[in-house]
Structure formats: C-alpha cells, structure tokens
Amino acid sequence: MKTEPGCPLCSDTGGELVWRDDRLRVILADEPLYPGFTRVVWNAHVAELSDLVDADRARLLDALVRVERVMREVLSPAKINLASLGNQVPHLHWHLIARWPDDAHFPAPVWAATDPKRVAAAAPRRDAIIEHLPAYREALRQAFA
Amino acid sequence: MKTEPGCPLCSDTGGELVWRDDRLRVILADEPLYPGFTRVVWNAHVAELSDLVDADRARLLDALVRVERVMREVLSPAKINLASLGNQVPHLHWHLIARWPDDAHFPAPVWAATDPKRVAAAAPRRDAIIEHLPAYREALRQAFA
C-alpha cells in the first residue's frame, strides 16, 4: 500500500476508529463543535478521488452512503454535509457532518468564521448528539459488518 | 421529475450551463474569487446523496470524476475540493473547486473568513485561471459528449 513519509493519515488513524478493512476506514473525528463528525479515510496515500480506479471509487462511494444513511437514521439531522478537501493533508479523506439549524454555523459551512455566541447557544444541540453517539457508533459498525 | 416550489435550483439553471442531460447538469458558478468553480447539479429536487437509487448515484459519481479530471488536466491545480453541503439550498448539488497555494483562502476551505489582503494578492492566480476558462469549458463539453 502506498504511504507518504510525514503524512498524518498514513502514520495515524486520525480519530477514533469505528471500522476498517484493507481499503478504507471510518473514524469519529475529534471536532468538539460537531460531535458525530465522521471521516471516511482511504488507507493508501492517494490525493484525489479521480486517482482511484473505478472499483475503488465505487467502494468509497458505497462507504460514504452507508455512513450517511446511519447518520440520518440515528441522528436525524436537518442536512448532511459531505466534503473532500485535503488542502492541508492531501491524503483522500471525506468529511461527513450532520447539521442542524441550531448548530454553531448553520446554514454556513462548518469552516466559516466561528461566533462565540453561536457556539455557546449550540451547546444543547451538541449535548443531544453526544447522547446518541453510542447508538451511532453501534449502528455504523452494523452497517459495515 | 420532482420539483419544489421556491427552490432556486428547480426554477433556475444556477449558473452558466456547460452540459446537461435528463438527470444532471454541469454549470460554471458565478464565484468571483474562484473562476472555474464548477457545480454538478442533480436536476430533480432531491436533498441527499443517499436519496438517489444506486444507478443514479453511480451516474453522479461518474459526472463528478469527469469534471475533476478535466479540471486537473486543463487547470493543473494543486488540489481539488469537492463538497455537497446544501444547507441553504437543499437540492443536491456538488461544488468542485480548483485550489492553489496562492488563491484567496488556501489551505483553508473557500468558505473560511475572507482576508481582503489575501483576496488582492490572489488576483494573478484568478487571471491565470480566467485565461484557461475557454479551454476548460470546451474540454468539459468534450468529456460529456
């Protein structure tokens, strides 16, 4: 498997490991404003989606959809946000973020400027998600079993 | 085809139309800081990727990869950013953004706070992209022909 010296997603899991196989892994990210923030990380060091051969791309898409379905079923968000950016860590990884009108940035992307008042006001939403995290983890594992 | 009253992506193209078929369209977005910013819009009013049946999802993925490949070949960016957010317009659409170290936000996402000094300094990069837009449009059309 291709690895890159110095790449944090080659040397580390990148978060709490929920599931992995030889091609990809599903992790819970450490994003305090967004509990449940999930990443699907391609294990090999590849920069772009179009670097994958067709079968691998289909496998990745399938994993994204599995996570998205569990997120919707267990967390019931208003919207799902998906993104593959990788400007800082050009190792293919996808962000899956459950969004609600009362979260810290809605309807702006989670990468928009942070307003401390919005962050404070979003505490009840974060608490509600945290309560569902054990069920979310378990449902994710079942979805990939 | 499912449409939603009041949805701007149901009532309008959403940008400069480059290509469309019965399922999806490719548009050049009006994003002054990011010339070449491209969107793939699902024509029917659907909120989430996981709302699509398998064949439609595969078709959408194929379109994203076609655009990404053209973007890489013609514009040679340092990184491609892909995202499906839809918090403001919950009608499935994907952002494809070519990124360079000398653009207005790199390595931050394009949705991060904007620094006027960075925006001014990024003018040569924008000009360079604009110069390649005719070739980019043409290569997109060929990729979908």
Q: Which of A57, A65, A99 sits opposite B50 (nearest CB)?
A: A65
Q: Does A106 contact B at CB distance below 8 Å?
A: yes
Domain boundaries, chain B: 8-144
Residues of chain B contacting A81 with CB distance shorter than 8 Å: 83-87
Residues of chain A contacting B113 with CB distance shorter than 8 Å: 112-113
Task: Categorize the per-residue pLDDT at B17 as very low, low, confident or very high, splitting at 50, 70 and 90.
Answer: very high
The pLDDT of B50-77, averaged and rounded, is: 98
Q: What is the DSSP string of B76-141?
A: --SEEEEEE--SSS-S-EEEEEEE-TTSSSTTS-TTSPPPHHHHHHTHHHHHHHHHHHHHHHHHHH
Query: Do residues B70 and B43 lie in contact, with contact meaning Cβ atoms separated by under 8 Å?
Result: no
pLDDT at res. A77: 98
CATH class of the region A8-144 = alpha beta
Q: Which of B61, B65, B90 sits opposite A79 (nearest CB)?
A: B90
The interface pTM score, or ipTM, of the predicted complex is 0.97
Burial label, A44 (beta-carbon count in 10 A; 0-12, 13-18, 19+)? middle
Task: Categorize the per-residue pLDDT at A117 as very low, low, confident or very high, splitting at 50, 70 and 90.
Answer: very high
With an 8 Å Cβ cutoff, are A48 and B112 in contact? no
Mutate to test the interface with B, among A74, A80, A91 (most CBs of B within 10 A): A80
Task: Categorize the per-residue pLDDT at B130 as very low, low, confident or very high, splitting at 50, 70 and 90.
Answer: very high
What's chain B's average pLDDT? 98
Q: Which of A49, A61, A109 sits opposite B57 (nearest CB)?
A: A61
pLDDT at res. A9: 98
